[in-house]
Amino acid sequence: MRYGTVSDNRVLVDTSVWIAYFKNSHPQITDRVDDVLTHSDVHVPKVVIAELIQGAKTDREIAIIEEFVNAFTVIDQNADTWLKAGRLSFSMKKKGITVHIIDCYISILANEYRCSIFSLDAHFKNIQKFLRFDLL
């Protein structure tokens, strides 16, 4: 099962990247995110915003995360996004690859919105074998 194509300028930034960016623990990640923020159309799924709020330590952190709604293109599911994510997970499981359904969902969103994915999560390389999208 392979869907659609990707856009050179649209980048879906995953939770793992935002966490590293906010912690400022990896200077090369911080530089890369700054470059993406400057030169790309950043897309953030609502589920990523929810994951970031879930992991927040203070109300101030939550306020910063909530500003994503104004700063970036926030994306959400289409009528059959979750069905596609379930089918993707099923196809992968049949080949012996188990990936969290949220990563399948994010991959489907990236495909539907023609985004590259910027993530530190290695699962996306496995998903790429089943679904067309670029990784940064």
The domain that holds 108 is classified in CATH as: 3.40.50.1010
The verdict on residue 2 lying in a domain is no
The verdict on residue 135 lying in a domain is no
The verdict on residue 134 lying in a domain is no
Task: Tell me what pLDDT residue 5 has.
Answer: 39
In terms of pLDDT, which residue wins out, 69 or 101? Answer: 101
> What is the Cβ-side half-sphere exposure of residue 29, based on CA atoms within 13 angstroms?
17
Mean pLDDT throughout 66-86? 92
Note the Cα 37 to chain centre separation in Å.
14
The verdict on residue 136 lying in a domain is no
The verdict on residue 33 lying in a domain is yes
How confident is residue 6, by pLDDT bands cut at 50, 70 and 90? Answer: very low
For residue 2, pLDDT beyond 60: no
> CB under 8 Å to 20, separation ≥6 — which residues?
26, 29, 30, 120
The verdict on residue 3 lying in a domain is no
Task: Tell me what pLDDT residue 26 has.
Answer: 83
For residue 117, pLDDT beyond 70: yes
How confident is residue 95, by pLDDT bands cut at 50, 70 and 90? Answer: very high
Q: Which pTM does this prediction carry?
A: 0.87
The verdict on residue 5 lying in a domain is no
Q: Structural domain tally of the chain? A: 1
In terms of pLDDT, which residue wins out, 6 or 70? Answer: 70
The verdict on residue 111 lying in a domain is yes
Alpha helices (runs of H) in the chain, residue ranges in sequence order = 15-23, 27-39, 46-55, 59-66, 68-71, 81-94, 101-112, 123-127
How confident is residue 68, by pLDDT bands cut at 50, 70 and 90? Answer: confident
For residue 1, pLDDT beyond 90: no
Q: Which of 4-18, 36-50, 70-84, 94-108 has the lowest mean pLDDT?
A: 4-18
User: What is the domain range of residue 86?
Assistant: 10-127
